[in-house]
Structure 1
Amino acid sequence: MSASKAETIAKTAHRVLTRRGVVWLGQTCNLRCRFCYFQSRIEAKDHPEHPFMSLSKAKSIMDTLRHHYGNSAIDIQGGEPTIFPGIEDLCRHCADIGLLPTLITNALVLAKRDACQRLKDAGVRDLLVSVHGLGQNYDDVVGVPGAHKKQMAALDNCVAVGMPVRFNCVLTNSSLPHLANVARLAERVGARAVNFIAFNPFEDQQKGERSREDVAAYSEVTPPLIAALDILNAADIEANVRYFPLCQVPDAYRKHLYNFQQLPYDLHEWDYASWSWTDMKPQRMRDGGLSPLISLRQANFRSPMYKGDPGYLADASISAEDEYRHSAFIRAREHCGYKFAPACDACGAKAICDGFHGDYAAFFGFGEAAPIQTDTPLDDPRHYISRQMKVVEPEDAGWAL
C-alpha cells in the first residue's frame, strides 16, 4: 500500500534546540538484534533494567519531562514499547499533558491493524520504526523468522490508519546492500524522515567485541549511503546520518550529518538536559523511586572536563547553546571515546566534528581521514545542517519555524 501525498508537511532550515525527551520503559523485547545497544540487558532477565517499570512510575517520569524540563514531545523506548502493559494508557497520558508521544519500535505487534488503530486513538503522534534490513536479511539480523513479513504488514497498517512513520536504519555490513531499497520503502509508505545510524559500541556493546563481520569501514558505507540519500532527496524525504565523520561524504551531503554537536538542533532528537536525567539508572529501572532533578549545567559540572572550573555553575557568559555544546563534548570524548586522527589537525571542520569513534582505529586505522579545506576554521555546529530542510510537526510550528 502506498501513502497518500495529500498532507502538506511544514519544513524549515531554521535551527533551534529540540524539546523532545526520551524514556526507557525497560529492556524487554520481542527481537534479538545482534547490534542492539542493550543486548546484555535484554538477554539477562535478572538485570535491574530488564523488567518493565510500572505504569505509574512511567507517568511520573513523563510529568517531570513536561512540567520541569519543558519537553513537548517524547520518544518512548523499551526494549520494545508496544509490548509494555498499559502502553495505550501511557500514550494517552502523554498526549493529555502536551507531551506528544512517539514510539521507537520494531512494529511487529502492529501487524494486527487493530493494535495500530488503538495506538493512534491513544494519541501517538508517530512511530520511529527500526528497519535494519529487508527480507531474509532482516530476519537474520533480528533473530526472528518471519519478522520482515510482519514489519511490512505493520507499515501497510500504518498507512491504512493514517499513522505517520519515520525510519531508523543501522549501518552494518549486512544492511549496506539494502540501503537503496530502504529508501524506496520510505517513499512507498510516505515516511517523514529516515535516520541512518553508524554502528557504534554504545551501552552494552561497549562490553563486548565488535567484529569485522558487523562493522563496516566508512569508505565502504559512503557509496551505498550516498545512493540512498539521493533517492530520499529526490522524494523530498528528510534524511539524517548519525555519528559519521564530516569528511567522509562530499560537501553537498554534509547537511545530513548529525554528530553530538549537531544532535540538539534536530527536532526529532533528544534534549540533552532531560536526557541527562532520564539516563540515570533510577529512571531506567522497575524498582525504586526517581532521582533528584538535575540541570544540564549541573550534569556537565560532574564531568572531569568542567568540574575543575569552580565558576562554571554561576558563569553568566555561558549560554544555553554553550551548555548543549559542552554536553556534546562530554558525550563524544568522555562517554564514547571519540578521537581525532593526526590529519584532523589540518581540517577546517575539526571544531564541529566528533572525529572517529574510539575503537574504530583498532579495526581500520585513521587512513580514511580527509581534512576539509575551508577559508577560515568552522566553529558553528549548525554550519552544514542549516542547509537542510527539516520536518516540523504542526504542534511545534509556533516555536520551531
Structure 2
Amino acid sequence: MKSAPLATGWTTQRQITRRGVLWLGLTCDVRCKFCYDEKVSLNAKAWMPPVEARAAIDKFRYFYQNEFVDFMGGEPTLHPQALEIVRHAADIGLRPTMITHGMRLADMDHARAFADAGIHDFLVSIHGIGDTVREIHGRGRDNYAKQVAALDNLRELGIPFRFNVTMIKDNLTELEAIAELAGAKGARVVNFLTFNPYFEWTADPEISFQARHSDIAPHLARAIDRCTALGVEANVRYMPPCQLPGHEAHVYTGYQLPYDPHEWDYNSWYDAGHEGKPDPAWYLDASRRQQRRHNYVHVPACGGCALRQVCDGFHKQYVTRWGADEARPYDGPLIDDPTYFVRQQRKIRYPASDGRPGEADSQTLAATRLAVGEDGRAGVKRQRPRRS
C-alpha cells in the first residue's frame, strides 16, 4: 500500500543511523567503469530469493530495530520480485530505498508501481551530465535523458529522491552542474563519493579513472557551496577532512558515517548480533574495524594530527600510487568525538518511528544470517565463489 513520504526538516543534532542495507544481487544492465562488481563472475551475481530477502528485512526491523533500509545491486529495480520486497519492508515499518541508476523509472507506470508498493525514496546514481553518463555507464542509449525523465516522474508522483555521484577524472568539471541539477529537480541530498579501490579493485595499482584528492577538491568545494545555496544537503564520503579545508562539516569518513541518517548501521550491515541500538562507544570500535577492513592507513603526517583518532586517513592503494604529500595535519588537542566537524552541518531530519517495532518469530530470527564476509556485501556473500 502506498505510504506518504515522511515529513522532513533540518537539524544539527547527530544521532546513530537507523538504516540497514541489503544487496539483492549483483546483476546490472550497465557497466560503470568504476563498478566494484564488474570483475565478479556472472554466476556470482544471482538474485537473492524473496524468502531470504524477507527474512533479512524482518531481522533489520525486529532485531536490529532499523527504521530504514537501502536495497542495493547491481541494479535492484531489475530484481523480478523488487516490488514484493519493497512492499514487505514498507508493510512492517521499515522505510525502503532503492539505490538505482534510475533509467527504468523513466517509465511512469514503473515508477508509479514503486509508489504503490510503498517506496520511501530513491537514491539515484547521477555520475555526470549529458554524454558523460553514457561514457561512464558503458552501455545504453540516451542514458542521461532517461535519468532526467525519471527524476521528473518521481517529482510528479511525490516520491523523494537523492543523488549519488562517484567522483572520477571523467566528471570533476561537472560536479557543480550536478549540484545545479539536484536543485532544479528537487533532490533532497547529494552524496559525493570518493572512488575507493575496494573489493576486486584493491590489487590494481594504476586505475586509469582514479583522481587525486587535490584535483577533486576545488571542483567539489564549489559544488558543495552550490548545494548549500540551493537548499540541498551535501555529503562527501571517504575523503580525509584535511583535503577540504573550510568544508569539513560535510565530510564523512568511516568514523562519521554512523552519524549520518542516510548511511548504514554497522550493527545490522555486518550482522554483528547486538539486538537494538548499541551505544556510541560500540560504534567507535566498529569504525576502527571498518577502517582496517577497507585498508585505510594513516600516513606519517597523520601521527601529529588532532583528528587521528576519528579519521580513516588514506586508502593504502592511494598512498602506494601517489604518496602522502597531500596530508595536512590539524593542530591542537587530540579530538576523540567523531562528530567534531559534522555536528555543524544542517542535515535532513526524519521523525523517529512510533515506539518499538513488533516482534518476529524467534526461531526465524535465530536462523537468519545475512551472510556478510569481509567484503561487506550483506546477503550476497553466499553466492560468490570461495577464495583460495
TM over 0.5: yes
- Pair 1:191-2:187 in alignment: yes
Q: CA deviation at 1:395?
A: 5.1
- Pair 1:322-2:281 in alignment: yes
- Pair 1:115-2:144 in alignment: no
Q: Secondary structure of 1:74's match?
A: strand
**Identity score, percent:** 39
Output the aligned Cα RMSD.
1.8
1:39 is matched by which residue type in structure 2?
Answer: E
* Alignment deviations for residues 178-202 of structure 1 (CA, whole Å, 9 cap, x no partner): 1000000000111111100100011
Partner of 2:88: 93
Q: Distance in 1 between matches of 2:308 and 2:353?
A: 32
* Alignment deviations for residues 195-238 of structure 1 (CA, whole Å, 9 cap, x no partner): 00100011222244542x31111110100000000100111211
Q: CA deviation at 1:8?
A: 7.0
Partner of 1:270: 264
Contact (CA 8 Å) 2:205, 2:317: kept in 1 or not?
no
Q: CA deviation at 1:392?
A: 1.6
Q: Distance in 1 between matches of 2:53 and 2:304?
A: 48
Q: How many residues align?
A: 348
Which of these residues, 50, 54, 67, is aligned with residue 55 of structure 1?
A: 50
- Pair 1:257-2:251 in alignment: yes
Q: CA deviation at 1:64?
A: 1.1
Q: Distance in 1 between matches of 2:7 and 2:42?
A: 45
Partner of 1:300: none
Q: Distance in 1 between matches of 2:7 and 2:48?
A: 38
1:193 is matched by which residue type in structure 2?
Answer: V
Contact (CA 8 Å) 2:130, 2:145: kept in 1 or not?
yes
Q: How does 1:173-184 map to 2 (within 5 A)?
A: 173-184=169-180
Q: Runs of 5+ in structure 1 lacking a partner?
A: 1-6, 278-293, 298-318
- Pair 1:45-2:42 in alignment: yes
TM-score where L is the length of structure 2? 0.86
- Pair 1:147-2:143 in alignment: yes
1:153 is matched by which residue type in structure 2?
Answer: A
Partner of 1:282: none
Q: Distance in 1 between matches of 2:33 and 2:204?
A: 11
Q: Distance in 1 between matches of 2:210 and 2:161?
A: 27
Q: Secondary structure of 1:350's match?
A: coil
Contact (CA 8 Å) 2:12, 2:344: kept in 1 or not?
yes
Partner of 1:138: 133
- Pair 1:84-2:84 in alignment: no
Partner of 1:393: 350
Q: Distance in 2 between matches of 1:395 and 1:276?
A: 23
Q: CA deviation at 1:346?
A: 2.1
1:382 is matched by which residue type in structure 2?
Answer: T
Contact (CA 8 Å) 1:91, 1:101: kept in 2 or not?
yes
Partner of 2:14: 15
Partner of 1:4: none
Displacement over 3 Å in runs of 4+? 207-210, 394-399
- Pair 1:295-2:273 in alignment: yes
Q: Secondary structure of 2:97's match?
A: strand
Q: Distance in 2 between matches of 1:258 and 1:397?
A: 28
Q: Distance in 2 between matches of 1:65 and 1:390?
A: 24
Q: Runs of 5+ in structure 2 lacking a partner?
A: 1-5, 357-388
